Chain A
Amino acid sequence: QVHLQQWGAGLLKPSETLSLTCAVYGGSFSGFYWSWIRQTPGRGLEWIGEINHSGSVNYNPSLKSRVTISVDTSKNQFSLKVDSVTAADTAVYYCATRIVVVDTGYFDPWGQGTRVTVSS
C-alpha cells in the first residue's frame, strides 16, 4: 500500500522559489507517474505536472515555464520547484500517485497537503 509524505516551506515572499518534496513509502516506485496538484478557492484543483521513475516529465502547459519536477530514485522521492512565485501561487499543494492507463489516469493516493502562502 503506497503512502505519500510531503514537506516544504509554507511561507514565501514574492519572487522566491517554492520547493516541496514528497516521499513514497510502500509499493513500487516504478510503474507510476508521480504528480503535483494544487488547490485554491478560486481555481479549484489544478494539475501541475508529473514525473516517472526514469525522469520522464509532463507539465501543465499553463505552468510549464516556471515549474521543475525532479526525482531521486535512491530515496524514493520526487520534488517540485516553482520559480518567481506571486500571490497567485498561494495554494494547498498535494503530491499524488497517478495510476497510468492508456488514454486516461487517476490519482490514488494523495499526500497530506502543504499550505503555501506567498506574501510580502
Chain B
Amino acid sequence: SYVLTQPPSVSVAPGKTASIACGGNNIGTKSVHWYQQKSGQAPVLVIYHDGDRPSGVPERFSGSNSGNSATLTISRVEAGDEADYYCQVWDGSSDLPFGGGTKLTVL
C-alpha cells in the first residue's frame, strides 16, 4: 500500500509562515489533497489538486508538490489555524490513503 509520511507536529508563531510536509514515493506524480481538522470536528478540505483552494478558504493557504514531497504552506498564521492537517492521494489502484496527520501549534 502507498504510504504518506507527515511530521507529527509543527509549531509557528502568529504572523509567521508554517510549512507542513507530506512525503511519499514519487508523490510528485500524484495529485495531493489537504484537510484541516479542528478539535472535535470533521475534517474540512483546504487544498485539492496540489494547490487549488476551495471557495471560502483564505489565500493564505497554498500547496505545492514535487519529487517525493508535497507541502502545505500557511502564510501569516493565525490562532484559528491551530488544527491537525492531513494529506491524501489516490494510490493508483484501489486505495485512497491519508497521511498520519500533523498537529499545527500556534505559539
- A residues apposed to B, CB below 8 Å: 35, 44-47, 58, 60-62, 94, 98-99, 101, 103-113
Please give the residue numbers on chain B whose beta carbons come within 8 Å of chain A beta carbons, in ascending order.
1, 30-31, 33, 35, 42-45, 48-49, 54, 86, 88-90, 92, 94-101
Q: Known A47-B95, A104-B89; judge A111-B49 contact (CB<8 A).
A: no
Q: Is the CB of A47 within 8 A of B96?
A: yes
Are B31 and A103 interface neighbours, CB within 8 A? yes
Q: Are B98 and A106 in contact (CB under 8 A)?
A: no
The answer to whether A113 and B42 touch across the interface, beta carbons within 8 angstroms, is: yes
Which one of A60, A94, A101, A107 contacts B88 once the chains associate, using CB atoms below 8 Å?
A: A107
Q: State in angstroms the CA–CA spacing of A41 and B43 once bound together.
A: 15
Residues of B within 8 A of A106 (CB): 33, 45, 48-49, 88
